[in-house]
Amino acid sequence: MKITDLKCTVMGNSPIVRIVTDEGIEGYGQIEHSKPYVKPQVLFYKQFIVGEDPTNVERVVMKIRRLGGFKPWGSAVSAIEVALWDIAGKAAGLPVYKLLGGKVRDQVRVYNTGGYVPLKDQSPASYAEIVSHQKNGPEGFTMVKQGVSWHSGMPQAVPDFTYGEVRTGPVHINKGPLTQKGLYHVIECVEAMKAALGPEIGLAIDCGPGWLIPDAIRLAKAVEPLNLMWLEDLITGDYSPHVSARVYREVTQATSTPIHTGEQIYLRNNFMELIEGQCVRVVGPDPLDVGGLAELKWVAEYADLHSILMAPHGVIDGVFGLAGLVHATATMPQNYVAFEYANAEHKWWYDIVTGLPNPIVKNGLIEVWDRPGLGVEFIKDKAVKYLPAGDEDFFE
């Protein structure tokens, strides 16, 4: 089998990768809907993979892996890798999880980020209210996550939140020392959320990036009695083009609260220092940023050797990203916690694909499905109307 074409379109704001072969088998990958601008980068890789056998996934990805980078520049390579697994599975008549080593579990746990309604304001009461929505949703989530401090509107909404200057611009641009007032506000909001959730629902907190070591340790120690699932991205994280492993190690060593990072990191190589140095307790790569499903699985295995937990990122990876996460996490070792449930950007996504369970999440779990490849397919006559002008031939 040979790859004859690599196509990319943007549906809603999600870049969609389609790899076409000479045997009529096609594969799909999807990129976070925050990155419609990476379409040209996806198409750049076409010249390197046309003519290759897509069922030799690693051999194909080796041609393009060096030409990627940390989030957002790892997503194109990652989505191509996912589409190759989709083809390899269909060609073999096997679900992708079989090709990644086989199922370790029949159901995969997911957690919810953000909730179903907008946060009213930055008060502890509003944070308590929104996690109650997450807790009481029909999916029966057993774990939820919320953003605070630099990963929220607090710097703008809470007067004198920081001793530094509050900046505006691209996401997560802020960093600086917190005032006592700012720090106590964060702690009060976290305490209010945990009180609303009770002991039966796990709470994870997305914090940054942007904290400095003294404040990070103060926060982590202050919330120790709450037994949080983790504090995420305190130092570096979302869109940081580096890892800061030794800084993370300082924080991790100072507290019993689990420290988490990894969603922006590209490739297994960039997890080595974090994992070998026991710098965090939980890693959270995103398959659509780290380099794909096999890359994610490798990081999970290496983390397990070091007693580090695995909780992949994925909240805006869309329906094909969700499928990839289900297959990859089904094969992970027992350090697996849960992945961040991927919501489609628009409700219409669920009407233009087949293969997803209905409902998708029950009791906080997704049943792993057995259809070949990713097991999710476009209903092309319904999907075409969401193709942008100029890409009407995407499915042809």
Q: Which residue is nearest to Mg ion (CB)?
A: 206
# of chain residues touching Mg ion (CB under 5 A) = 1
State how far the Cα of 103 lies from the Cα of 106, in Å rounded to an integer: 7
Radius of gyration for the chain, computed over Cα atoms and rounded to the nearest angstrom: 21
User: Which of 206, 289 has the CB closer to Mg ion?
Assistant: 206
Instruction: Look at the block and give the residue holding tokens 């720090």.
Output: 183
Closer to Mg ion at the Cβ: 289 or 295?
A: 289
Pick the stretch among 13-21, 47-55, 152-160, 204-212 that binds Mg ion (CB under 5 A). 204-212
Of 11-19, 203-211, 252-260, 272-280, the window that binds Mg ion (rule: CB under 5 A) is 203-211
Least distance in angstroms from the C-beta of 207 to Mg ion: 9
Nearer to Mg ion, 81 or 206 (CB): 206
Nearer to Mg ion, 7 or 151 (CB): 151
Tokens 């890789």 locate to 45
Report the site for Mg ion in 11-50 (rule: CB under 5 A). Answer: none
When binding is defined by CB under 5 A, the residue of 32, 86, 139, 206 that contacts Mg ion is 206
- Residue 145 DSSP class: E
Q: How far apart are CA 94 and CA 37, in angstroms?
A: 33
Q: How far apart are CA 252 and CA 257, in angstroms?
A: 8
Which residue lies nearer to Mg ion by CB, 81 or 232?
232
CA dihedral sign of residues 373, 375, 381, 385? negative
Q: Are 54 and 84 in contact (CB under 8 A)?
A: yes
Q: Is 81 in the site for Mg ion (CB under 5 A)?
A: no
Q: Between 316 and 352, whose beta carbon lies closer to Mg ion? A: 316
State the nearest-atom distance from the C-beta of 329 to Mg ion, in Å. Answer: 17
Minimum separation from the CB atom of position 378 to Mg ion (A): 29
| CA distances, 375 to each of 32, 80, 94, 116, 369 (Å) | 19, 16, 9, 27, 7
Phi-psi region of 310 (alpha: psi -120 to 50; beta: other; left: phi over 0): beta
Nearest distance, CB of residue 198 and Mg ion, angstroms: 24
Please report how close the Cβ of residue 232 comes to Mg ion at its closest, in angstroms: 5
Minimum gap (Å) between residue 298 Cβ and Mg ion? 21
152 near 211, Cβ under 8 Å?
no
Interface residue list for Mg ion (CB under 5 A):
206
